[in-house]
């Protein structure tokens, strides 16, 4: 009897190990033939997460496979992008991608764990213009009011935004330079925290994302947006360009794959993302929430990223000293 | 509003929704209980499932998860000295000694009931006073966060009843650990020693497992080869449930104070429940006539900690529902879920979507009751876990902590950090240098630093950092509390020494005469 | 007998020193908090060292040679597990670990019956948790670089 139990136990062990090993092994055939991991280089609940969740069922339909969302937060996204480089370039691992983060982090940090041109873009699908706003009871009615005040009181105007060497910070630095003024930048950790600091009156001016500004539009006055043409959900707000400041500022969201991914694979992914981006339902949802829908394919995305690198490299160099 | 409340009640008490709520609470307890999994992760995983349901049902399920997780983290805290989430650290102080004495079931029932109590009180506050409280929550600016962090650190003076210097040194080392990674202001990358993963800093849960769970296993199971985890086996009885609940109900002061602390700290956006439970524990110890019982295994300590950390959850939802500003990571996920269902936070939630919103709030209340139910009856099953001989239990726990540490950030380095902290924690315990202040420093470091540096920047522009940081209403209150918290143990020591000195002359006088 | 206060004091001083050297190139904003902390740690370490000379607390670290042997072996098993993990993958490494640790903690290690019981338990416990985490909860676990 004891012998029988011993033998059965050994067989059960062996069987379990075999079954587990088989399940773990991946299959390889036509792309895509297995689940795809969609990494979000931020924590859950953020804007990148919300977009990814909106796309997830549509991606599964387009590609015909399961799409698993995974979080790898840290360093403002840099930990996720650094880890993307170490994944196999077979198209089964993609990551969210954010500009200006992927441009500014390697420029400003020396060693962010990755280089901008190492991330292979698939597409861009969303833009969040950055705007400058004050509370509705503030004495500034237009951007020039603010600039005049700042000229007479250098350093006295407290501006909030999310992060250092982020889109908000760069917009702040560029505005200072273009308008010839000095203000004080007080960064917060994340967009939500910066909005809380602003609404609580701890900073007088905020460099904020269009969706946050749109959400609180009844309590604030937006002085300008960093877009080419006026921001569709809030068309009365002037653009920096129309006020004479050559300042374009927005946070763009897209997706990327590790370097060396075969072009046929990227093409399949690009088609799926662009189909979703061009879906009128999706576009309406984005505009309702205060985002700008965008549909940029792989080649356009590459050119766009390079143009941003060219634009910001001298700015970072100048302000970093 | 009344009509919406009734509609909300109707929504919740439908069979399917109650079932979803139950499943949510159960899943929440599981996620809270497994170290390495968090309420945030649980919510994030279940949000896609909720798409297929109506907004009300989906939110009801999420409510269940959030409330369940606030109790779940007490289970490993009590059984294996490992807080399931950072909010349960204070639960280990009395919870683990309780289970060592064979009273694990008492601890689990106390935790369940206290969680429900705290949840309940905080939800009533949420439902009735949300908008004015939200405005108060916005008043927390950089100086307030700084002083809140300092206040949290002064708890060290009570925790380390032995040597205060060692305690504060540990706290300072913890603060130093918290600087690893990106500076909150300035973006400098600090102390990463070449590891790009460390840009994100030290993961709190990894530190918890390393400093709380591993040293216990190392010292008793491995070092002393103890056959079972606890010194006494646990013998669960039905009667325990009634006894514990009755004895806690007889202490309304303790329960209400702890729940209040949790609610208030909960709605300071970002401060979170990590320190609510410790502040509550500290205050419970301070105001109790028999304060020497704390730390040796009393259900009062567990109740103080758990009611506060459960009250924190609805508190963090106040700024979320009224202003759309999430007060904690789980709240951020709930915000995402709301947005995906097209419900934008703000006045709209209480008008156009009022029936769904109140369904959510009432679901939070009902979930609180379910926690007591599941927790009390589950205590029979859970408490028996530590009766399993340690040669089966310990490898399982270690394996699970490795799994948990990896799954936080998908990072092998985190597992090594856990190992190193485990060794340091073991050495530290041997040197009578309790690791809790180190973890406290690690948790509070970001608040203290961000508050300090932001205040510098703002103070420079406002003409004086000192006056900027001190002369504000909330800051003054926090500074006062910090001073009191710091001085209190000293005052007590001096008072008792003075009393014994006073008695002696009388005795001698008596003898002479 | 080890002097607790001296050990704590000197270790903290060393840590503070190392951190000081490594952080000299931080910007003003990034470094201000670190500098304050280093000062505080420095002062408290000196106080500890002082206490170590004046009113020391002494302890015996390991209560017996047995205890030391157990701890060392236990840590080695754990370390081997962590080293093997990225190479042979999560599942195989965990099986080995549970198996080995279970045997180490038990009595009569080398009896066939106990060895097989260990192997069986390890297979069941590890596999169940693996499936719960990776399939049900969708948490990706290391595959093992040897196999890729």
Cβ distance C7 to B431 less than 8 Å, yes or no, reads yes
Q: What percentage of chain B exceeds 90 in pLDDT?
A: 17
What secondary structure letter does DSSP report for A95? E
CA-based nearest distance C96→chain A, Å: 11
**Residue A275 structure tokens:** 């189909």
Residue of C89, C120, C135 to mutate, interface with A, max A Cβ within 10 Å: C120
- Helices (runs of H) and strands (runs of E) counted in chain B: 24, 2
Q: Is A196 on the interface with B (CB under 8 A)?
A: yes
> Which A residues 151-180 touch B at CB under 8 Å?
155-158, 163-165
- A68 contacts in C (CB within 8 Å)? 138, 140
- Which residue of chain B comes nearest to C109, CA vs CA? B391
State the Cα–Cα distance between residues A186 and A169, nearest whole angstrom.
Answer: 9
- Residues B395-436: tens digit of each pLDDT: 888 888 888 888 777 778 889 999 999 999 998 888 887 888
Confidence (pLDDT) at A28: 41
Q: What is the pTM of this model?
A: 0.86
How is residue B499 written in tokens?
């009393």
pLDDT tops 50 at residue B508: no
DSSP string covering C76-143: HHHHHHHHHHHHH-HHHHHHHHHHHHHHHHSSSTT-HHHHHHHHHHHHHHHHHHHHIIIIIS------
How many whole angstroms separate alpha carbon A245 and alpha carbon A105? 25
Chain C's closest residue to A6, CA to CA, is C116
Rounded to the nearest 10 degrees, what angle do helices A280-289 and A47-63 cross at?
170
Least confident of A78-87, A209-218, B319-328, C10-19: B319-328
For residue B412, the Cα-to-chain-centroid distance in whole angstroms is: 26
B503 CA: distance to closest CA in chain A (Å): 55
Note the pLDDT tens digit of each residue in B20-34.
899 899 989 988 888
Chains with 3+ CB–CB pairs under 8 A to C are: A, B
Which two three-digit tokens encode residue A148?
A: 């005049």
- What's the mean pLDDT in C102-111? 78
Q: How far apart, in Å, are the Cα atoms of B3 and each of B7, B10, B56, B296? A: 6, 11, 16, 50
Q: Which two tokens stand for residue B221?
A: 């199971």
Output C142 or A223, whichever has higher pLDDT: A223
Q: Report yes or no: B194 at the C interface, CB cutoff 8 Å.
A: no
Confidence of residue C27 (pLDDT cuts 50, 70, 90): confident
Report the alpha-carbon distance of residue B340 to residue A45 in Å, rounded.
11
Q: Are C142 and C91 in contact (CB under 8 A)?
A: no
**Contact predicate A80/B409, CB 8 Å:** no
Question: pLDDT class for B267, splitting at 50, 70, 90?
Answer: confident
Residues 6+ apart with CB under 8 A from B17: B11, B56, B57, B60, B359, B363
* 3-state per-residue secondary structure call for B141-173: CHHHHHHHHHHHHHCHHHHCCCCHHHHHHHHHH
Q: Are B69 and B370 in contact (CB under 8 A)?
A: no
Neighbouring chains of B at 3+ CB pairs under 8 Å are: A, C
User: How many CA atoms, within 13 angstroms, populate the side-chain half-sphere of residue B289?
Assistant: 2
Q: What is the pLDDT of residue B513?
A: 40
- Rounded CA gap, A254 and A272, in Å? 13
B255 and B294 in contact (C-beta within 8 Å)? no
User: Pick the residue with more confidence: B494 or B90?
Assistant: B90
d(CA B59, CA B324) in angstroms, rounded, equals 16
- Whether the Cβ atoms of residue B278 and residue B87 lie closer than 8 Å to each other: no
Q: Report CB contact under 8 Å: B412, C33.
A: no
Torsion sign (Cα): B124, B129, B130, B133: negative
The average pLDDT across B109-130 equals 89
Name the DSSP letter for residue A1.
Answer: -
User: Tokens 């992060």, residue?
Assistant: A163
pLDDT greater at residue C109 or residue C122: C122
pLDDT at A152: 92
Per-residue pLDDT, B302: 93
DSSP labels, B443-470? HHHHHHHHHHHHHHHHHHHHT-HHHHHH
What local confidence, expressed as pLDDT, does residue B171 receive? 92
| Of A267-276, B332-341, C101-110, the least confident | C101-110
Nearest neighbour of C123 by CB, restricted to A6, A12, A70: A12
Q: What angle do CA A156, A160, A166 make, to 5 degrees?
A: 125
With an 8 Å Cβ cutoff, are A21 and C91 in contact?
yes
Is B294 touching C (CB cutoff 8 A)?
no
B48-58, pLDDT tens digit by residue?
A: 777 778 888 88
Closest by Cβ to C101, choosing from B168, B395, B432: B395
Per CB-CB distance under 8 Å, the chain A contacts of B450 are 188-189
Buried b (16+ CB within 10 A) or exposed e, B254-280: bbebbbbbbbbbbbbbbbbbbbbbbbb
Chain A CB contacts of C116 under 8 Å are 6, 9-10
pLDDT of residue B433: 79
**CB contact at 8 A, C100 and C123:** no
- Residues whose CB falls within 8 Å of the CB of residue B84, separated by 6 or more in sequence, listed in order: B32, B33, B34, B35, B72, B73, B74, B75, B76, B77
> What 8-state DSSP symbol labels residue B222?
I
Using CB atoms within 10 A of its CB, is residue A246 exposed (0-12), middle (13-18) or buried (19+)? exposed
**Chain C interface mutation, best of B65, B222, B396, B415, highest count of C Cβ atoms under 10 Å:** B222
Which residues of chain A, if any, have pLDDT below 70? 1-29, 321
Chain C residue whose CA is closest to A69: C138
Report the C-alpha gap between A280 and B249 in whole angstroms: 57
Cβ <8 Å between A184 and B319: no
Which residues of C fall within a CB distance of 8 Å from A10? 116, 119-120
**Which tens digit of pLDDT belongs to each residue from B360-394?**
888 888 898 899 889 888 888 888 888 888 888 88
Mean pLDDT for chain B overall: 84
Average pLDDT value for residue range B428-457? 88
Strands A36-40 and A93-99: parallel
Q: Which residue of B has its CA nearest to A213?
A: B324
pLDDT confidence of residue A27: 39
Q: How do residues C58-67 score in pLDDT, each as one tens digit?
A: 777 787 888 8
Going by their DSSP bridges, the two strands A220-225 and A93-99 should be labelled as unpaired
User: What was the pLDDT predicted at A304?
Assistant: 92
> Do the beta carbons of residue A52 and residue A40 sit within 8 Å?
yes
A111 SS3 class: coil
Q: What is the mean pLDDT of residues B125-132?
A: 82
* For residues B209-234, average pLDDT: 85
Find out whether C31 and C75 touch, Cβ atoms under 8 Å.
no
Kindly identify which residue of chain C lies nearest to residue B429, measuring between CA atoms: C61
**Within 13 Å of residue A254, how many CA atoms lie on the same side as its CB?**
28
Of A20, A24, A70, the CB nearest to C143: A24
CB B27 within 8 A of CB B65: yes
Contact call for C116 and A9, based on CB within 8 A? yes
* pLDDT for A26: 43
Residues pairing with A239 in the sheet: A225
């Amino acid at each position: 009897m004891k012998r029988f139990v011993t033998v059965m136990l050994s067989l059960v062990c062996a069987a379990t190990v075999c079954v587990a090993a088989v399940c773990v092994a991946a299959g390889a055939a036509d792309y895509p033939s297995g689940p795809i991991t969609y990494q979000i280089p931020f924590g859950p609940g953020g804007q990148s997460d919300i977009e990814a969740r909106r796309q997830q069922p549509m991606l599964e339909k387009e590609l015909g496979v399961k799409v698993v969302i995974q979080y790898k937060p840290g360093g403002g996204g840099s930990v996720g992008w650094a880890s993307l480089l170490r994944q196999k370039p077979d198209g089964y691992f993609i990551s969210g991608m954010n500009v200006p983060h992927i441009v500014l982090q390697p420029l400003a940090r020396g060693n962010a764990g990755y280089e901008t041109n190492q991330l292979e873009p698939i597409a861009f699908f969303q833009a969040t213009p950055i705007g400058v706003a004050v509370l509705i009871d503030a004495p500034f009615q237009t951007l020039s009011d603010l600039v005049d005040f700042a000229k007479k009181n250098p350093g006295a105007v407290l501006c909030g935004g999310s992060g250092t060497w982020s889109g908000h910070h760069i917009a702040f630095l560029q505005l200072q330079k273009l308008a010839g003024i000095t203000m004080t930048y007080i960064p917060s950790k994340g967009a939500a925290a910066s909005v809380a600091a602003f609404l609580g009156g701890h900073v007088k001016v905020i460099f904020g994302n269009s969706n946050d500004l749109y959400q609180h539009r009844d309590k604030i006055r937006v002085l300008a947006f960093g877009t080419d043409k006026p921001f569709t959900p809030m068309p009365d707000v002037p653009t920096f360009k129309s006020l004479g400041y050559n300042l374009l500022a927005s946070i763009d969201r897209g997706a990327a794959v590790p370097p060396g991914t075969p072009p046929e694979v990227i093409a399949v992914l690009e088609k799926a993302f662009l189909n979703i981006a061009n879906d009128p339902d999706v576009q309406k949802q984005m505009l309702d929430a205060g985002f700008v829908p965008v549909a940029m394919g792989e080649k356009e995305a590459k050119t766009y990223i390079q143009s941003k690198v060219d634009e910001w490299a001298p700015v970072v160099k100048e302000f970093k000293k | 509003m009344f009509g919406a409340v009734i509609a909300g009640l109707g929504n919740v008490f439908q069979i399917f929704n109650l079932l979803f709520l139950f499943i949510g609470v159960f899943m929440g307890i599981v996620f809270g209980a497994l170290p390495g999994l968090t309420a945030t992760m649980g919510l994030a995983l279940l949000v896609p499932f909720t798409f297929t349901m109506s907004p009300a049902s989906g939110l009801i399920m999420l409510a269940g998860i959030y409330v369940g997780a606030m109790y779940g983290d007490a289970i490993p805290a009590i059984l294996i000295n490992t807080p399931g989430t950072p909010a349960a650290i204070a639960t280990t102080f009395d919870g683990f000694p309780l289970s060592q004495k064979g009273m694990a079931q008492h601890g689990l029932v106390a935790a369940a009931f206290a969680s429900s109590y705290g949840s309940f009180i905080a939800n009533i506050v949420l439902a009735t006073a949300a908008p004015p409280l939200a405005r108060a929550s916005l008043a927390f600016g950089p100086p307030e966060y700084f002083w809140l962090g300092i206040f949290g650190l002064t708890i060290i003076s009570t925790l380390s009843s032995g040597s205060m210097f060692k305690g504060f040194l540990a706290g300072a080392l913890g603060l130093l650990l918290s600087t690893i990674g990106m500076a909150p202001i300035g973006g400098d990358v600090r102390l990463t020693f070449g590891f790009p993963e460390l840009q994100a800093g030290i993961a709190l849960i990894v530190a918890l497992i390393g400093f709380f769970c591993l040293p216990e296993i190392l010292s008793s199971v491995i070092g002393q080869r103890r056959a079972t985890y606890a010194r006494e086996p646990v013998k669960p009885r039905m009667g325990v449930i009634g006894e514990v609940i009755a004895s806690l109900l007889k202490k309304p002061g303790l329960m209400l104070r702890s729940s209040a602390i949790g609610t208030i700290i909960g709605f300071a956006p970002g401060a979170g429940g990590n320190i609510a439970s410790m502040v509550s524990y500290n205050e419970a110890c301070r105001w109790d006539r028999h304060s020497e019982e704390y730390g040796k295994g009393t259900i009062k300590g567990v109740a103080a900690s758990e009611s506060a950390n459960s009250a924190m959850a609805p508190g963090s939802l106040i700024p979320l529902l009224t202003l759309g500003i999430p007060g904690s990571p789980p709240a951020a996920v709930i915000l995402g879920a709301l947005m995906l269902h097209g419900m934008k936070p703000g006045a709209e939630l209480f008008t156009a979507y009022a029936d769904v919103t109140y369904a959510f709030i009432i679901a939070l209340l009902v979930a609180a009751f379910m926690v007591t139910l599941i927790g009390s009856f589950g205590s029979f099953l859970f408490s028996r876990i530590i009766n399993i001989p340690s040669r089966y239990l310990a490898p399982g726990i270690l394996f699970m902590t490795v799994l948990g540490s990896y799954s936080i950030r998908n990072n092998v380095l985190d597992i090594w950090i856990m190992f190193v902290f485990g060794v340091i924690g073991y050495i530290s315990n041997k040197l009578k240098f309790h690791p809790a202040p180190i973890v406290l420093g690690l948790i509070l470091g970001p608040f203290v630093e961000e508050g300090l540096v932001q205040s510098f920047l703002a103070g420079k522009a406002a003409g004086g950092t000192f006056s900027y940081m001190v002369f504000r209403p909330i800051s003054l209150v926090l500074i006062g509390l910090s001073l009191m918290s710091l001085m209190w143990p000293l005052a007590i020591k001096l008072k008792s020494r003075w009393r014994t000195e006073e008695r002696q002359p009388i005795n001698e006088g008596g003898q002479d005469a | 007998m080890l002097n607790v206060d001296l050990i704590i004091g000197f270790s903290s001083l060393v840590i503070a020193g190392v951190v000081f050297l490594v952080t000299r190139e931080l910007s003003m904003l990034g470094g201000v908090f670190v500098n304050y902390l280093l000062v505080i740690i420095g002062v408290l370490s000196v106080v500890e060292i002082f206490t170590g000379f004046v009113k020391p607390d002494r302890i015996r670290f390991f209560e017996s040679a047995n205890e030391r042997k157990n701890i060392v072996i236990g840590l080695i098993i754990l370390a081997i597990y962590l080293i093997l993990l990225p190479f042979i993958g999560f599942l195989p490494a965990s099986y080995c670990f549970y198996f080995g640790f279970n045997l180490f903690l038990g009595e009569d290690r080398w009896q066939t019956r106990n060895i097989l019981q260990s192997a069986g338990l390890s297979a069941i416990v590890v596999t169940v948790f693996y499936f719960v985490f990776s399939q049900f909860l969708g948490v990706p676990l290391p595959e093992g670089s040897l196999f890729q």
